[in-house]
Amino acid sequence: MVVIPPILWISLWFFKKVTKAYEDYQAQEAVLSTTLQENLTGVRVVKAFARQDYEKEKFDKDNWLKYIKGKFLLLMHSLFWPLSDIVLGAQMLFGFIYAAFMAIDGRISVGDYVAYVGLVVWLIFPIRNLGRVIVQTSTGMVSYQRLMDITKQAREDLDGGAVQPTGPVRGEIEFRNVSFMYSDGTHDVIKDISFHIKPGQSIALLGSTGSGKTSLVNLLPRFHEYTGGQILLDGVELRDYSRKYLREQIGIVQQEPFLFSRSIRENILYGVGRRVTQEEIEAAAKAAAVHDVIASFPDGYNTVVGEKGVTLSGGQKQRVTIARTILKNPKILILDDSTSAVDTETEASIRKALDDLMEHRTTFIIAHRIQSVMRADLILVLDKGRVIQKGSHEELLAQFSGMYRKIYDIQTRIDEELEMEIARAN
Ligand code: CTP
Ligand code: MG
């Protein structure tokens, strides 16, 4: 009984120490994995900038730190185990010797002595194990906490929503003084934006990089929640629709095209919730001006893209994602800079196909070329999250001091110079 309090006290003291040491160790392991993962995914950048030695050194440093922290953790364990054994051993030694003298003096019988020794041995080992269990629990607690940090993250509510429409949307969209700030941001990236488009109309967003175009369109499928004002879809506040419904209604060609390491066919079919024929897939690919490229691969539409198959160029990837969205046939179409990686000629042919596609659906076009935005019903020119100009192509052209006119003049001048250059070369 006498040794139980010190053993508990020592165990709890080490429990705290080991918890801290193990947390440090795990955190360092995370640093190391991040370093490694970034080096592997960013290997091209590392090579292009000839930073192998730097990255190697960085890895060595992180790895060394992990080693040191691991060592410290082991040191803690290696101190605890002998320490608790010394305490328990000392108690046994003291008890055995003292009882032996008692037996010699005849105060207890030899039988009592043997019984005492047996009992102590029986009792000491559970006490010893109790201490070990307490200390080892600390590592389990740390791991459990780390897991809980992830599993306790709030899940996106896909289904909730005050209205549960059964049919497709019409596509009327109204922004009323909408502002938006990223949850980790410091200032509004969208400030007080208002506009109104009817079903089937198209709206173009033009503006310098970082002006908030992508942020604005990402509000529609509720990837983020707007922080001020109102967005109305068919007269109903966007928040009242479920995310699932919105995302079914909205087709978005994202700025950074992403393809899965699966066949091109699977990539085009991605997210299409109905049976489609090969003809439909090919029609979509033709509209996106990528059919010929796919047909030139030996495996055609079954060609696997990504690590295990062919690597598509940036423009080809972009066009496969356009084909995917065309096939989805959404009521609201968002094209976020989706022809930035294709040449002017291909862009023109995609634009033609998109023009057909844009009929009967509300379309958001983000582009840098005036040619791509000029036919939109409404053009918004954004700057630092604000609308600085708003109107049709003709209206905006007439504003001589406006940004739109400036961009137009620069782009037409470049085009003319190019044409002259080509004419001269011929
Ligand atoms: N931003 C942010 N957090 C994100 C994405 C963007 O804080 N997850 C910020 C950016 O730093 C930028 C602003 O939001 O200052 C607007 O970004 P974005 O909407 O992506 O700008 P675009 O107009 O789409 O720029 P680009 O033409 O380069 O695509
Ligand atoms: Mg963008």
Distance 296 CA to ligand 2 centre (A): 32
The alpha carbon of 231 and the centre of ligand 1 are apart by a number of angstroms equal to: 20
Token output for 8: 């508990």
CA distances from 176 to 194, 364, 387 (A): 5, 17, 13
What angle (nearest 5°) sits at the alpha carbon of residue 242, between those of residues 237 and 246? 80
Closest CA to 369 of 359, 379, 361, 377: 379
Under-70 pLDDT residues of the chain? 308
Fold match flag (4-151 vs 173-425): no
Per residue in 180-191, pLDDT (tens digit) is 999 998 999 999
The answer to whether 343 and 315 are in contact (CB under 8 A) is yes
pLDDT score recorded for residue 302: 92
Which position has the token pair 């990255």?
55
Query: Residue 283: in which H helix or E strand, if any?
Result: helix 278-287
Query: Torsion angle of alpha carbons 219, 222, 223, 225, nearest 10°?
Result: 70
Kindly report the CA angle at 190 between 186 and 195, in degrees rounded to 5? 165
The per-residue pLDDT for 391 is 92
* Distance in Å, CA 65 to ligand 1 centroid: 36
Q: Rounded to whole angstroms, how far apart are CA atoms 180 and 216?
A: 8
Nearest CA to ligand 1 atom 10: 210
Domain 4-151 CATH class label = mainly alpha
Quick one: pLDDT at residue 186? 92
Locate the ligand 1 atom nearest the alpha carbon of residue 337 and give its number.
29
* Burial class of residue 2 in the structure, from the number of CB atoms within 10 Å of its CB (0-12 exposed, 13-18 middle, 19+ buried): exposed
Q: Which residue has the tokens 């990686």?
A: 341
CA dist 249 and 315 (Å) reads 26
Tokens 């929640």 sit on residue: 225
What pLDDT is recorded for position 54? 94
Instruction: For residue 227, count CB atoms less than 10 angstroms from its CB and return exposed for 0-12, middle for 13-18, buried for 19 or more.
Output: middle
Q: Whose CA is nearest to atom 20 of ligand 1?
A: 214
Contacts of 102 (CB under 8 A, 6+ apart): 108, 113
**Coil/strand/helix, residue 201:** coil
Amino acid at 366: I
State how far the alpha carbon of 367 is from the alpha carbons of 208, 272, 374, in Å. 10, 26, 10
Angle between helices 52-104 and 4-41 (to 10 degrees): 170
Q: What is the pLDDT, as a whole number, of residue 37?
A: 93
Beta strand 202-207 with 362-366: parallel, antiparallel or unpaired?
parallel
Measured from the alpha carbon of residue 382, the closest ligand is 1
DSSP sequence for 284-329: HHHHTT-HHHHHHSTTGGGPBBSTTSBPPPHHHHHHHHHHHHHHH-
Q: Look up tokens 């410290």; give the residue.
A: 72
Q: What is the pTM of this model?
A: 0.79
Distance 383 CA to ligand 1 centre (A): 12
Domain spans in the chain, listed from the N-terminal domain onward = 4-151, 173-425
Question: What is the structure's pLDDT at 105?
Answer: 94
Whole-number Å distance, alpha carbon 284 to ligand 1 midpoint, is 30
- Both structure tokens of 135: 């200390």
- Quote the CA–CA distance of 204 and 95 in Å, as a whole number: 89
Atom 5 of ligand 1: nearest residue by CA position:
215
Pocket test for ligand 1, best of 187, 193, 211, 386 (most atoms within 8 A of CB): 211
Provide the pLDDT for residue 356. 73
Ligand nearest to the CA of 218: 1
Residue of 181, 189, 384 to mutate, ligand 1, most atoms within 8 A of C-beta: 189
pLDDT of residue 222: 94
Q: Which residues surround ligand 2, an ion (CB under 5 A)?
A: 214, 255
- Judge whether 331 and 249 are in contact, CB under 8 Å: yes
**What's residue 150's pLDDT?**
92
CATH 3.40.50.300, applies to 173-425: yes
Sign of torsion over alpha carbons 148, 154, 155, 160: positive
